[in-house]
Amino acid sequence: MTILDTFKTLVAVRSLRPFLAVWIILCSNPALSFGADGHRIVVNIAENHISPNTASALGAIIGDADLDLLSLWPDKIRHLPAWKQSKYWHYINIDDREPFNNLKRNSDGDVLAALEHFYAELQDPQLGNKQKIEALAFFMHFVADIHQPLHVGRRDDRGGNSIEVKWLHQPTRANLHQVWDSLILKQENKTPLEYSQRLDRAHAGQITRWQQSHFLQWAKESKALRNQVYNFSPEIQRKRTTISPAYIERNKPIIEQRLLMAGIRLAGYLNRIFDPSGQ
């Protein structure tokens, strides 16, 4: 049985999943954590690049709900008992010298398997609307996740979660994964919509090139960026490395580029699904 076959088994039973209750809570709660902003930026960028036919098809699925809020749902439910297996779908573990083509994959799934699975589901004309909403939420979320370098993480530090850091000499405890998920972006002090408007400056050649790529390439790109993620020079990495202004200045353009690429690529895949004749 392949990793995708195993993954299909894991997501096959949906009848007991508390989808609608959590969906209502999510969309009615204005107090969203800052960690959500990266996902919302990606979806906001994607919305600028989907075709009118795609926008219409998405509207028929989700009604008046906001796509960017829907993309947050997988983080809201992964600790619920009915969805506990989904916590493995947000990342993939691979060591620095380990090749993808020989990688021992997690039998509980990973972000690559999740993207393949939900992309296939969204193309299934027999899928019910509730399942389409779930699949859309997961697909949008995981497109963003795989572009964050530490979601293609080292096993020994759990994608940076085990590396404690000092954030700009503040007393608050943080870890390296949080730095890349949210803390660097927070320095910009912009709303997700404002941030997406500033970032969405890709030229036609970039858009074409990025949209021709596939999920595995995205993972390889994130893995290749890890050398920069773990470069704390001139700081010396101790038990709690200080994340300095120089580190932020050096790495914020990387995060912003990954958000832009994710948004452009998400739009490309949504257009393939919902407006294939326009491709």
Angle at 270 between CA 63 and CA 180, to 5 degrees: 100
Domain assignment of residue 8, yes or no: yes
State the alpha helices, DSSP H only, in the chain.
3-10, 19-28, 37-47, 52-62, 67-70, 73-77, 111-122, 129-147, 176-178, 184-186, 192-199, 204-211, 215-224, 226-229, 245-274
Domain assignment of residue 22, yes or no: no
| Burial class of residue 43 (count of CB atoms within 10 Å of its CB; 0-12, 13-18, 19+) | buried
- The total domain count for the chain is 1
Alpha-carbon span 92 to 193, nearest angstrom: 29
Alpha-carbon span 202 to 208, nearest angstrom: 10
Alpha-carbon span 194 to 189, nearest angstrom: 10
Domain assignment of residue 98, yes or no: yes
Domain assignment of residue 27, yes or no: no
Domain assignment of residue 236, yes or no: yes
What dihedral do alpha carbons 33, 39, 43, 44 form, nearest 10°? 50
Q: pLDDT tens for residues 170-204?
A: 777 899 999 999 999 998 889 999 999 999 999 99
Mean pLDDT of each 10-residue bin along the chain, 279 residues long: 56 50 48 70 97 96 91 90 90 94 91 96 93 95 96 94 87 89 91 95 96 97 95 67 91 97 98 88
Q: pLDDT tens for residues 232-241?
A: 876 555 667 8
Domain assignment of residue 220, yes or no: yes
Cα distances (angstroms) measured from residue 196 to each of 137, 222, 239, 250:
19, 20, 35, 20
CATH of the domain at 216: 1.10.575.10
Residue type, 186: K
Expressed as residue numbers, the domain containing 96 is: 3-12+32-278
> Given this model, what pLDDT does residue 32 score?
41
